[in-house]
């Protein structure tokens, strides 16, 4: 661990002072300088110095290493959501780069600390990850690498089957022991009110009888597990699958880490936008020396560049934040603004409210990507920033711009961000067809699953559940039951 | 520098090797790899190795981008899909994976998969030479190897240290302890030389497809043998009714049309061996690929004669691969089989199509000679 040399430490303190003056609120951040190989290593571990042994980190490392060698990418900045925060600087970067990274990281740390979606994450995750690594290593020593690794492989297939909002909501009231009884007592036969002499006509005895039978049948029906379809598939498996001790431990670790990383995936655009906003603000208004301007501008442009067909979260995030700032500075919000249709009036609209800064601080506290874009991605913004949606053209084999229409563009953006652009999969029944089989449902919203992946994932779930697993989904417009019984895949129409 | 990720990385490389092994047949039978050959690495496109998940299928539904352009303008070929979602980095391994392997490594995988035995080069002991290189300095040695500069420097240093150096009268007198001599190291240089002589029939009946098969098979044989010998040479002969030596490029590209006189090629090969590759020093591997349609029975007899007298006694192995073509009779394979049933050093193999290449390589190289 190379401690930060004194001159960089001075710069860090200076930039932090600027940040505080703007109202940023961050944890103590400790920077470390790494050479590019260590940087790639840490990046492969998603920013952490230690992770449990698994080949996919090696794959990520190989990938980063190749991209570096071929000059395709360079890792500038990395920061961990932890208190105190840890961040890394690349050895050999120019001073102006290091300044920019420090300022950028400051933005991230402020975001980690204050954004609501991060509020439930483990702020001592550095230790957490190290503990996970130790636990997994212990299992490996006992059981051998192959066994443990292949189980981790299975668990990772399900890594995305969590419920990112569950830390904030109680999805299901805990079942109380007297729930059953209470239901019985309060249950009344539905009958229409009638005068006594009309009773047999309005509520004929046969009908009442039938209702009673139905109700009893309903009551005696075995209760479903889960009571309602459950999104946190990992939790469901932890509670219900026949796992051995070490397997449970590993599944728990995977789930823990998935929940830790979820907010970062939920806030990619707004988080990067926020950090980019602050690095450029601090750099251009305070920290830059005249001699550094050109280099800064060059690198900043690199970070914010977007190739056609690319959705650069830095760029979109920062422009949208600036757009919001301008709107609230000039009072371009509320009923009056929304209803104004005079384009000249809209163009020159300025009520000199100066609420912009306050508003973006609010946004950084309460929003995630979906809500951020849903609320603030306006038609004006879409047009000014030349957004378009593109699609694959079968005939030319190219991706082509298919629309600049605001509604379509926004729909597509939100679709990509909702549930990280991944399908919703829920556990519906742990005793499917009364055979102890697991039934999952894909909540189909217009896009089919990738079938090969779905099959392979079913294999992984079967490995954990140890009984046949079925997924109900829709393929090519037809409802399908994809089933894997440990040997063969079948797909029956549902 | 050791990294903490090294074990994970090694693990990943193992998995990659496993995948390549699994799909070796596919890689072997398509010529694509040869095109990807760099100096001594090949990069192999791997089928996905990433963790399967429930995810959406077609990427055909595109994404959102930014910038100028009309509706209908292309935004770039290929698949911007994953990048376009704005979550690059959160899902490692989305990208088509290209893995680089050195040819040695590839040969090793090939060897493991085909269970090819290691080749024991002949004449190994005899051919070891030694080479001396001056690599260092030591304190003792013959005066003829004295290193003047180092000796002088040492003496100067001693005099400065002991205070006997007078800058006004710089006089350096080395004593015995100051003397430095060059020292050398002897390195044994094993010389197992090998030469491959590829002979191809380019007569009218060999079509493009047949040549492609020859090309692929030669590449793999070449790769394997190179991993076994340092300094492998290859020579190329093409023949129809007459034979000539050509360079590698021509070998794979020529399209001639004419009759077929296999004996012409064998004569040339025998001559080549005699003039350049004395069998006491060289491991010699002729590979002959043809569709087996020789001009006449007489010529075939002549071929067998040359093989028996001039070629077989000198080579490690004589391999004949017969490519199936719609025109060839394929008689030559039978003739060879009849005459050399007993001969250990003649291997014949029939290559029906690309899928059979792997089996054919196994037949050729499986003996470890």
Per-domain residue ranges of chain B: 1-50+97-115, 129-188, 193-365
Per residue in A101-145, pLDDT (tens digit) is 999 999 999 999 999 999 999 999 999 999 999 999 999 999 999
pLDDT for B89 equals 31
- Given the structure tokens 């089957």, which residue do they identify? A161
Q: How far apart are CA A88 and CA A108, in angstroms?
A: 13
Residue A33, pLDDT > 80, answer: yes
Query: What residue numbers bound the domain in which A53 lies?
Result: 6-115+267-298
Residue A482, number of CB atoms within 10 A of its CB: 23
Kindly state the average pLDDT of the residues A334-362: 90
Work out the angle at residue B75's Cα, subtended by the Cα atoms of residues B71 and B79, and round it to the nearest 5 degrees: 130
pLDDT for B369 equals 62
Element (H, E) at A95: helix A95-114
Q: Cα separations (Å) of A155 from A331, A363, A427? A: 50, 35, 16
pLDDT for B308 equals 86
Same domain, A282 and A330: no
pLDDT for A446 equals 82
pLDDT for B85 equals 31
Taking alpha carbons only, the member of B271, B299, B281, B288 closest to residue B348 is B288
Beta pairing, strands B63-66 & A387-392: antiparallel
- Given the structure tokens 């980690």, which residue do they identify? A112
Size of interface A-B (CB pairs under 8 A): 228
Q: How far apart are CA B100 and CA B106, in angstroms?
A: 10
Q: Total domain count for chain A?
A: 2
CB contact under 8 A, A421 and B56: yes
CB contact under 8 A, B57 and A404: no
Mean pLDDT check: name the lowest of A42-46, A74-78, A322-326, B125-129: B125-129
Same domain, A99 and A13: yes
CB contact under 8 A, B53 and A157: yes
Kindly state the average pLDDT of the residues A6-12: 92
Per residue in B131-178, pLDDT (tens digit) is 788 888 988 888 899 999 999 999 999 999 888 888 888 888 888 889
Residue B92, pLDDT > 70, answer: no
Per residue in A451-488, pLDDT (tens digit) is 888 999 999 999 999 999 999 999 888 899 999 998 99
Residue A239, pLDDT > 50, answer: yes
Handedness of CA B215, B216, B221, B223 (dihedral sign): positive
Please report, for the domain that includes residue A67, its CATH number.
1.10.10
Q: Can you tell me whether residue A413 is helix, strand or coil?
A: helix
CB contact under 8 A, B8 and A316: no
Residue A6, pLDDT > 50, answer: yes
pLDDT for B59 equals 52
CA atoms within 13 Å, Cβ hemisphere of A188: 4
Per residue in B315-330, pLDDT (tens digit) is 888 888 888 877 667 7
Distance from CA of A192 to the nearest CA of B (A): 49
Is B18 an 8 Å CB contact of chain A? no
pLDDT band at B122 (very low <50, low <70, confident <90, very high): low
Residue B82, pLDDT > 70, answer: no
Chain B residues with CB-CB distance to A317 below 8 A? none
- Please enumerate in sequence order all residues whose Cβ is within 8 A of that of B211, keeping only pairs 6 or more positions apart, or say none: B200, B202, B252, B255
Give the whole-number percent of chain B exceeding pLDDT 90.
5
Taking alpha carbons only, the member of B171, B254, B220, B238 closest to residue B363 is B220
Is A61 an 8 Å CB contact of chain B? yes
> Could you tell me if A363 and A270 are in contact, meaning their C-beta atoms sit under 8 angstroms apart?
yes
If 0-12 CB within 10 Å is exposed, 13-18 middle and 19+ buried, where does residue A86 land? buried
Q: What is the DSSP letter of B241?
A: S
pLDDT for A15 equals 95
Handedness of CA B85, B91, B92, B98 (dihedral sign): negative
Mean pLDDT check: name the lowest of B90-94, B139-143, B254-258, B264-268: B90-94
Residue A365, pLDDT > 70, answer: yes
CB contact under 8 A, B59 and A392: yes
> Could you tell me if A116 and A366 are in contact, meaning their C-beta atoms sit under 8 angstroms apart?
yes
Q: How far apart are CA A307 and CA B77, in angstroms?
A: 12
Q: How far apart are CA B322 and CA B335, in angstroms?
A: 12
Residue B117, pLDDT > 90, answer: no
Q: How far is CA B110 from the centre of its chain?
A: 12
Q: End of a domain among A376, A401, A418?
A: A418
CATH architecture of B193-365: 3-Layer(aba) Sandwich (3.40)
- Please enumerate in sequence order all residues whose Cβ is within 8 A of that of B305, keeping only pairs 6 or more positions apart, or say none: none
- Residue predicted with more confidence, A76 or A34: A34
Q: End of a domain among A386, A418, A450?
A: A418
Residue B83, pLDDT > 50, answer: no
Chain A contacts in chain B segment 73-112 (CB below 8 A):
73-80, 83-87, 90, 92-93, 95, 97-99
**Could you tell me which chain B residue has the CA closest to the CA of A266?**
B87
Residue B75, pLDDT > 90, answer: no
Q: End of a domain among A356, A390, A418?
A: A418
Backbone phi, psi, residue B132, to 5°: -100, 135
pLDDT for A134 equals 96
**Could you tell me which chain B residue has the CA closest to the CA of A263?**
B90
- Give the number of residues written for chain B: 369
Kindly state the average pLDDT of the residues A233-239: 93
CB contact under 8 A, B53 and A57: no
Q: Which two tokens stand for residue A338?
A: 């929304």
pLDDT band at B93 (very low <50, low <70, confident <90, very high): very low
Q: How far apart are CA A50 and CA A132, in angstroms?
A: 9
Is A362 an 8 Å CB contact of chain B? no
Same domain, A291 and A324: no
Residue A342 lies in a domain: yes
Residue A392 lies in a domain: yes
CB contact under 8 A, A56 and B12: yes
Per residue in B190-232, pLDDT (tens digit) is 666 788 899 988 877 777 788 888 888 888 888 888 777 766 7
Q: How far apart are CA B216 and CA B37, in angstroms?
A: 13
Computed over every residue of chain B, the mean pLDDT equals 78
- Residue predicted with more confidence, B169 or A45: A45
- Give the number of residues written for chain A: 494
Computed over every residue of chain A, the mean pLDDT equals 88
Same domain, A22 and A92: yes
Handedness of CA B159, B163, B164, B170 (dihedral sign): positive
Kindly state the average pLDDT of the residues B31-56: 69
Is A144 an 8 Å CB contact of chain B? no
Residue A86, pLDDT > 90, answer: yes
Which residue of A63, A420, A451 is in closest CB contact with B92?
A63
Q: Which two tokens stand for residue A440?
A: 């999952």
Torsion of CA B34, B35, B39, B44, to 10 degrees: -70
């Amino acid at each position: 661990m190379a401690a930060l040399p004194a001159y960089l430490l001075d710069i860090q303190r200076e930039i932090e002072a600027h940040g505080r003056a703007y109202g940023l609120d961050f944890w103590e951040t400790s920077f470390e300088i790494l050479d590019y190989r260590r940087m790639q290593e840490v990046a492969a571990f998603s920013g952490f110095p230690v992770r449990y042994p698994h080949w996919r980190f090696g794959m990520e490392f190989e990938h980063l290493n190749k991209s570096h060698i071929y000059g395709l990418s360079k890792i500038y900045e990395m920061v961990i959501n932890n208190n105190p925060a840890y961040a890394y600087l690349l050895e050999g970067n120019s001073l102006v780069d290091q300044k920019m990274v420090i300022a950028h990281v400051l933005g991230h740390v402020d975001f980690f600390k204050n954004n609501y979606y991060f509020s439930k994450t483990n702020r001592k995750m550095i230790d957490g990850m190290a503990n996970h690594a130790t636990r997994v290593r212990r299992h490996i020593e006992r059981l051998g690498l192959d066994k443990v690794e292949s189980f981790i492989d299975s668990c990772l297939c399900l890594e995305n089957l969590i419920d990112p909002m569950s830390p904030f909501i109680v999805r299901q009231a805990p079942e109380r022991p007297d729930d059953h009884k209470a239901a019985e007592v309060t249950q009344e036969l539905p009958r229409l009110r009638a005068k006594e002499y009309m009773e047999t006509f309005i509520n004929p005895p046969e009908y009442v009888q039938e209702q009673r039978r139905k109700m009893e049948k309903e009551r005696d029906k075995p209760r479903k597990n889960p009571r309602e379809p459950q999104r946190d598939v990992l939790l469901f498996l932890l509670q219900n699958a026949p796992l051995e001790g070490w397997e449970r431990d590993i599944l728990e670790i995977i789930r823990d880490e998935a929940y830790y990383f979820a907010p970062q995936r939920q806030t990619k655009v707004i988080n990067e936008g926020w950090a980019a906003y602050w690095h450029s603000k601090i750099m251009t208004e305070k920290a830059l020396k005249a001699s550094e301007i050109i280099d800064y501008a060059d690198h900043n442009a690199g970070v914010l560049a977007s190739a056609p067909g690319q959705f650069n979260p830095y760029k979109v995030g920062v422009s949208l934040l600036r757009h919001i700032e301008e709107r609230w500075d000039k009072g371009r919000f509320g009923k009056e603004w929304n209803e104004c249709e005079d384009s000249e009036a809209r163009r020159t609209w300025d009520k000199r409210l100066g609420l912009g800064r306050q508003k973006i601080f609010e946004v950084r506290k309460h929003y995630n990507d979906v809500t951020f874009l849903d609320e603030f991605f306006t038609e004006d913004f879409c047009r000014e920033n030349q957004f378009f949606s593109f699609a694959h053209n079968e005939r030319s084999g190219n991706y082509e711009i298919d629309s600049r229409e605001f509604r379509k563009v926004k729909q597509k953006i939100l679709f990509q961000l909702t549930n990280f652009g991944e399908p919703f999969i829920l556990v519906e029944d742990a005793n499917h067809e009364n055979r102890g089989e697991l039934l999952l449902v894909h909540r189909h919203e217009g896009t089919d699953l990738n079938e090969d992946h779905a099959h392979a994932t079913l294999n992984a779930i079967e490995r954990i559940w140890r009984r046949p697993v079925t997924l109900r989904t829709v393929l090519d417009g037809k409802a399908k039951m994809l089933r894997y019984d440990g040997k063969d895949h079948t797909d029956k129409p549902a | 520098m050791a990294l903490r990720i090294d074990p994970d990385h090694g693990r990943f490389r193992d998995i990659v090797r496993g995948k390549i092994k699994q799909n070796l047949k596919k890689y072997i039978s398509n010529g694509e790899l040869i095109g990807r050959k760099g100096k001594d690495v090949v990069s192999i496109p791997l089928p996905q190795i990433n963790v399967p998940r429930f995810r959406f299928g077609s990427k055909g539904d595109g994404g959102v981008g930014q910038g100028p352009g009309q509706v209908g303008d292309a935004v770039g070929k290929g698949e911007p899909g994953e990048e376009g979602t704005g979550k690059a980095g959160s899902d490692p391994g989305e990208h088509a994976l290209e893995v680089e392997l050195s040819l040695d490594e590839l040969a090793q995988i090939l060897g493991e998969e085909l269970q090819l035995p290691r080749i024991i080069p002949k004449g190994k002991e005899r051919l070891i030479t030694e080479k001396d290189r001056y690599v260092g300095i030591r304190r003792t040695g013959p005066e003829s190897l004295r290193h003047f500069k180092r000796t002088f420097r040492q003496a100067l240093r001693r005099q400065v240290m002991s205070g006997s150096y007078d800058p006004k009268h710089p006089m350096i007198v080395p004593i015995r302890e100051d003397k430095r001599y060059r020292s050398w190291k002897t390195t044994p240089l094993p010389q197992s030389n090998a030469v491959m002589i590829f002979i191809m029939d380019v007569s009218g009946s060999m079509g493009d497809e047949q040549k492609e098969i020859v090309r692929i098979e030669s590449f793999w044989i070449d790769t394997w043998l190179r991993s076994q010998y340092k300094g492998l040479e290859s020579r190329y002969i093409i023949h129809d009714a007459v034979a000539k030596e050509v360079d590698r490029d021509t070998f794979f590209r020529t399209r001639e049309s004419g009759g077929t006189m296999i004996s012409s090629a064998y004569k040339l090969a025998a001559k080549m061996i005699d003039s350049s590759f004395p069998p006491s020093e060289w491991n010699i591997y002729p590979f002959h690929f043809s569709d087996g349609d020789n001009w006449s029975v007489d010529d075939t007899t002549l071929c067998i004669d040359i093989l028996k007298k001039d070629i077989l006694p000198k080579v490690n192995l004589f391999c004949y691969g017969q490519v199936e073509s719609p025109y060839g009779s394929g008689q030559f394979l039978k003739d060879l089989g009849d005459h050399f049933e007993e001969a250990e050093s003649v291997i014949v193999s029939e290559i029906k199509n690309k899928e059979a290449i792997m089996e054919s390589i196994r037949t050729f190289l499986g003996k470890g000679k």
